[in-house]
Structure 1
């Protein structure tokens, strides 16, 4: 009996020591990402209903040097979509609407070129243009100005569609704004009242708010990192702008309560919710790691379900691994961090599947260029693999160029993230395809084409004072301005509501950005006077008249 008791004590002690070790490792990971003197995050990590870590990192308000504490309230951005999706599914379970209902059944005044279903709004296949992709709707002035639901629906209805419903997948805030309007029409309540009465109040989510119409206690300020790594408070975004696509304020504790209720099937029955956690397939055959308001990933070999959010000054991510009962929530007031990568890293640490970055290898001369080329992702997007000496780079259309490195033949890793690429060959040994191996639930593939590699942009040497003729402001839309200026030998551009970026000359009138795949071209009239610019990005050419 004494021996059994001793064994039990040893077992309990070893479990406790393991939990303590895990908590210490989690804390170490987070301290690598957040400084005590800068904006940071509140973080919660839970396994089997046991809290492994609940802690604040960094500063909640710079002026007061107030540290972040774990019970503080943050804007959670698009994690709001979970609440909107669950509200819709709750109404479906109550027989008040169907996933196959056409939008026109509930919003007859909202006209669409093709019929759009509720399900297509939920899974981002509606083709309706996302209002957040329209520059004039996302200016600093526009974002801080209150709009009614009817006004925003009017704006959305006026935009051309991106594609035929069901044909493609494209993340879409307009879709979730429309779902909020459907909830209001079906229930006769405002979106805010419905969320409060059906979720926040019964679940005792006392630190959660659908908007900031009333003072919010213990709210963290949101910050952006600007030039010379200086943090400035983000511009205010009125909650009526994100609305049911991203208006909610909450805390890590409340989101844990929410997660328990959702995955405990207290709000919507299991068979309906499980549809929300399955990948979306388009009519063209593409499969996307996204369900109804939840994105799907992997922690080791286990399915992970979560969502992220981003709104001026704030970034967020939460993920749950049902098989392992691991939950991670990270709410940041610092837009220079990557909460999704950090949250997944924490989950992988708890699961014991966190892998170290592989060591780089040196490829032979015969192997070096086998992977270089243009790979087709879909009809609109490509990924380009390039080589410069012994360095390799991967860049998606309109995106940032990332350095990658080989760690085995046909296998590459991203230098800054855990994403990896595996190249596939045909029977002749020729590279024909690539697979992106990341935390996505669905393996993403791209086919190698015969298209030539886009020419590497080289900097043109110009006299700095020659740039002064371009200095000024250019109007691309009524409320969307790009300001251009010079700081000694550096040339800068800043779009309304965005941070400044350096631009580099490739000719006397053409400039390019290095942070993203975008270019600016300046135009002159017959007299040689600079009158306009054209912004080229992601296949679009957006002209802007010089107004100042």
Structure 2
């Protein structure tokens, strides 16, 4: 029988993702980490620091090492109580739900109920027309691997309750958006992470069988695999074990999904998720084994990056392939991954929306770094706003940033998330001050200026909003949120973005390898009239010019600046992402 270890500590303190951050976090060479203790003291210390600093409320991890399973948990189910989290606690798993949707698709394909290359149009109600671009229409596989050309979220997503944003997004709205959408690129040509697309896939698969998404999930996956607490609707037993979600140290509502359930609606426990992983890894036999293998297989064209299966993301490193996904809702962050054809698998669940991806990646590969965790500045700022007002809070921010910068996390996302909480509560004075503060603290952030413009627009100051949307595009020319808003305000965005042409000889001069950090190399190559960049352990992405030596990525807000020496030779590259700058020396030319 497999050995199961359980490490638990009681914490007593009353005090959304694919996000995929593609350049700052990376997998290094997949070295042998089996010699180290499975759940090391370093990991335990990291988790303890995050919780003791108020970054996370509770964290549960499960590690599969061969046939052995180890659990470790630290923190509380709620800051208002002392009951600890453990492997039986219930969490929202967010976008990890997409791997279940991909598995449903694979199962239905193998049972000849649908085909991967079936056109979406085949499964739509009468009167609803799927988008067509240059004669190509969306297929089911495009929805599963994020190449449908559908956006991350539909533009008719306007929740009546921002604290539970998906609860009222109906099938009528889903079809209304689809019926009028015009793709901005060829279908199947590029990766663009789409909650809407996978939610649509889950909806049409369930409709095909005349069931709800949850009914299909229970019938095809949860019940056959014995995952008794992997479902959407909380049973009384699951509700008693629920780890309450938190954001910035405050309890938040659970998210309820209606039509887009396939994108992120599932709740589960670490025990169930470990069992799900064991089936996926082939450690235990499963009636869905063949469907799981299909869901792990790259579904994109050979050579296309990033690699995506059906719901799962795939990363190659040395001779290993990592299969993974992360998730996040308003009060939860999650990670699941395993080494394909190997014996290592990891689940990390937290009842806080602070990311825990680095813990999951590090557990899979000890060379993947753990983030240095500091308490978020917004916890201090929010308390100051509540007690003394926004003006005092802004003054406190600058005082701490100037005099105690090493003591807090001052990243742009921290302020943006806090501002959003006030924005959605119609506390526009606070939202305006915080978004303006973010532009001053992070003047190279396109997102910060777009958020500031959003608040200005809601206040009715359209002229100043336009000014700041334009600034957002200057910083990141593919900021779709800013582009869309400007177009709705009657501004021709083509004159903002431009169509910069760079001489081929100049592009050729940038080709080479740049060392951004030890074992973290950025490789740049030329492909026709396009240059592409690839970081260690990451997919390759095209980069686009803002000027002769400054380029940006479309998949994530990041910028590369090629620097020359006194002889005019390209000597280094500077990566700007998330308010951080990293300069890497050129170590190899073309």
Same fold, TM exceeding 0.5?
A: yes
Query: Within 2, Cα distance between the matches of 1:516 and 1:522?
Result: 10
What TM-score does the superposition give when structure 1 sets the normalisation length? 0.61
Aligned match of 2:152: 130
- Greater strand fraction, Structure 1 or Structure 2: 1
Aligned match of 2:434: 492
Matches within 5 A, 1:145-544: 145-212=167-234, 216-225=239-248, 231-240=249-258, 242-264=260-282, 266-268=286-288, 270=290, 273-279=292-298, 281=300, 286-298=304-316, 301-336=319-354, 338-349=355-366, 353=367, 484-485=428-429, 491-493=433-435, 502-504=437-439, 516=447, 518-519=449-450, 520=452, 530=461, 533-534=465-466, 536=469, 537=472, 538=479, 540-541=482-483, 542=485
**Secondary structure of the equivalent of 2:322?**
strand
- Which string of whole-angstrom CA distances, capped at 9 and with x for unpartnered residues, describes residues 94-124 of structure 1? 1111111111112243312312111111111
Query: Within 1, Cα distance between the matches of 2:263 and 2:364?
Result: 26
**2:44 pairs with 1:27:** yes
- Which string of whole-angstrom CA distances, capped at 9 and with x for unpartnered residues, describes residues 63-113 of structure 1? 113321221010000111111111111111111111111111122433123
Distance 1:183 1:266, change over 3 A: same
- 1:300–1:348 Cα contact (<8 Å) kept: no
Larger radius of gyration: 1
- Which string of whole-angstrom CA distances, capped at 9 and with x for unpartnered residues, describes residues 385-429 of structure 1? xxxxxxxxxxxxxxx889xxxxxxxxxxxxxxxxxxxxxxxxxxx
Q: How many residues align?
A: 384
- Greater helix fraction, Structure 1 or Structure 2: 2
**Secondary structure of the equivalent of 1:169?**
coil
Query: Within 1, Cα distance between the matches of 2:455 and 2:66?
Result: 62
- Which string of whole-angstrom CA distances, capped at 9 and with x for unpartnered residues, describes residues 170-206 of structure 1? 0111221222222223222221111112221222212
**2:23 pairs with 1:81:** no
Aligned match of 2:115: 98
Q: Where does the alignment leave 5 or more consecutive residues of structure 1 unmatched?
A: 1-16, 226-230, 358-399, 403-472, 494-500
Q: Where does the alignment leave 5 or more consecutive residues of structure 2 unmatched?
A: 1-33, 372-410, 414-418, 473-478, 490-590
Query: Within 1, Cα distance between the matches of 2:444 and 2:157?
Result: 19
* Residue 159 of structure 1: how far off its partner (Å): 3.8
Query: Within 2, Cα distance between the matches of 1:355 and 1:142?
Result: 33
What TM-score does the superposition give when structure 2 sets the normalisation length? 0.57
**Secondary structure of the equivalent of 2:433?**
strand
Distance 1:221 1:480, change over 3 A: closer
- Which string of whole-angstrom CA distances, capped at 9 and with x for unpartnered residues, describes residues 415-474 of structure 1? xxxxxxxxxxxxxxxxxxxxxxxxxxxxxxxxxxxxxxxxxxxxxxxxxxxxxxxxxx99
Distance 1:139 1:46, change over 3 A: same
Distance 1:97 1:355, change over 3 A: closer
* Residue 480 of structure 1: how far off its partner (Å): 7.0
Query: Within 1, Cα distance between the matches of 2:165 and 2:222?
Result: 26
- 2:300–2:307 Cα contact (<8 Å) kept: no
* Structure 1 vs Structure 2 CA RMSD: 3.9
- 1:315–1:333 Cα contact (<8 Å) kept: yes
Query: Within 1, Cα distance between the matches of 2:176 and 2:151?
Result: 13
Query: Within 2, Cα distance between the matches of 1:233 and 1:326?
Result: 33
